[in-house]
Amino acid sequence: MNITKGGVCAAKGFKASGVYAGVKDNPTGKFDLALVASDIPADTAAVFTKNKVKAAPVLVSIDNLKKTGGIINAVILNSKNANACVHDGIETAKAMCKATAEKLKIDTEKVLVCSTGVIGQSLPIDKITAAVPTLIGKLSENGNADAATAIMTTDTFKKEYAVEFTLDGKACRIGGMAKGSGMIAPNMATTLNVITSDVKISPDLLRTALSDVTEKTYNCLYIDGDMSTNDTIILMANGLAANKFIDSVNADYESFKNALFEVMKNLTIMLAKDGEGASKLLTANVTGAPSFEVGKTVAKSIIGSDLLKCAMFGEDANWGRILCAIGYAPADIEISPIEVSLASKRGEIAVCKNGEGLNFSEETAADILSEYEIEINVNLHQGSESATAWGCDLTYDYVKINGDYRS
């Protein structure tokens, strides 16, 4: 498996574009409308927010997937406005699908729709529909960067990742784009994600792979404890790589799933790096767990601790906050065997053994924590399973960004 270029356009038969439609009040014309399209209908799986308040685009996309049996041609996405909790939300989301479908000459139900941004404001649909012809006219095999830029809100950089691997002697690719910076937890994020592949795989296995990999990637991401109304991951596979059809859990399926994991893991890490106001990427590695679920629960509890996030921002090796977060994690574990260390490229230092603190050099610990990427390593000594969660520190800028988010 190798990293390759192209993001959502890396796989055969996929094109993308991004334009400025005027949803963002931005005199520089920063892109705010994106499109990803397959040359042929693609089998599509998706994961959506678990929030009881679901934005209109989520509801429309769920309905379209049911109507088509998961056969989709395109995804249209906008930033700046979530199209959530407004009286005309469903009508607007359907209008975005219809405008796209008419220009692509496909059924309206074969278009999915995603929105991100401020909740509770009507989407200026006239601006979007007016921009759709230009958006479709710009569709290109090199349009991935424009699309990835168009879905950004408070993101500070575009997020793309793609890999190439071989199945049945055929070159296959999986590539994706993501957005997200805040309102990320406890499952997925304020995140829109489109992942494309040219692998020929059964719809059932496509759904299974996406569900399984989401649990070990996006659902192990924690920025600030809020869950969005718009979270969406869409995985499209058009089969144009012409590999032997994957219709059972075999070696080819595992290769596909591993490649999907690589893409989604790296997009997850990018989302963690770009947490609103973040100055450090935090990774919690939990080993010695009795099960993956217990390991994940503990890792996310650590990453989700606001007190620990503040300590990491201050480069303070306050390991007690780690033990505290482990202690209130909803998991059946013993505290007495636990070991904890802190690490970065400057080294690693043990701070806790057998559930108790160790004597360590505060100066050495501060030096280790001065790096951008910090690892919190925990060994529960209660099994053979492991899990990893990703997040970021909590800075002054987080409050500033969210204090005037609508401005």
Asked if 237 and 199 touch (Cβ cutoff 8 Å), the reply is yes
**What's the whole-number mean pLDDT along residues 46-71?**
92
Q: What SS3 class is residue 390?
A: strand
Residue 393: predicted pLDDT: 83
Question: What is the pLDDT at residue 231?
Answer: 83
On the question of a common fold for 2-271 and 281-403, the answer reads no
pTM for the complete prediction? 0.84
Is 165:199 a contact under the CB 8 Å cutoff? no
**What residues contact 369, with CB distance under 8 A and at least 6 apart?**
312, 315, 316, 317, 342, 344
Helix (H, G, I), strand (E, B) or coil at 46: strand
- Exactly one of 116, 129, 153, 190 is catalytic; name it: 190
pLDDT in tens, 226-244: 456 778 999 999 999 999 9
For residue 149 the two structure tokens come to 């830029």
pLDDT tens-digit readout, 99-142: 999 999 999 999 999 998 888 888 999 999 999 999 999 999 99
Instruction: Report the mean per-residue pLDDT for the chain.
Output: 90
Q: Catalytic residue at 154?
A: no
**Length of the chain measured in residues:** 407
Decide if pLDDT at 186 tops 50: no
Flag whether pLDDT at 320 surpasses 80: yes
Over residues 197-223, the mean pLDDT reads 92
Give Cα 21 to chain centroid, integer Å. 24
Percentages helix, strand, coil for the chain (3-state, rounded to 5) are: 35, 30, 35
Report pLDDT for 277. 61
CATH number of 2-271: 3.60.70.12
Q: What CATH number labels 281-403?
A: 3.10.20.340
Question: Which has more confidence, 186 or 333?
Answer: 333
Rounded average pLDDT over 50-78:
93
User: What confidence score (pLDDT) does residue 403 get?
Assistant: 56
Instruction: Please give the C-alpha separations between residue 55 and each of 84, 85, 148, 182, in angstroms, as whole numbers.
Output: 4, 7, 21, 17
Domain residue spans of the chain: 2-271, 281-403
Provide the phi-psi class of 124: left if phi over 0, else alpha when psi is between -120 and 50, else beta. beta
d(CA 220, CA 225): 12
Q: Of 104-108, 262-266, 396-400, 401-405, which gets the smallest average pLDDT?
A: 401-405
**Range in 175-184, 296-305, 314-323 the model is least confident about:** 175-184
Given a cut of 50, whether residue 188 has pLDDT beyond it is no
Q: Is the pLDDT of residue 405 over 50?
A: no
pLDDT for the residue numbered 31:
93
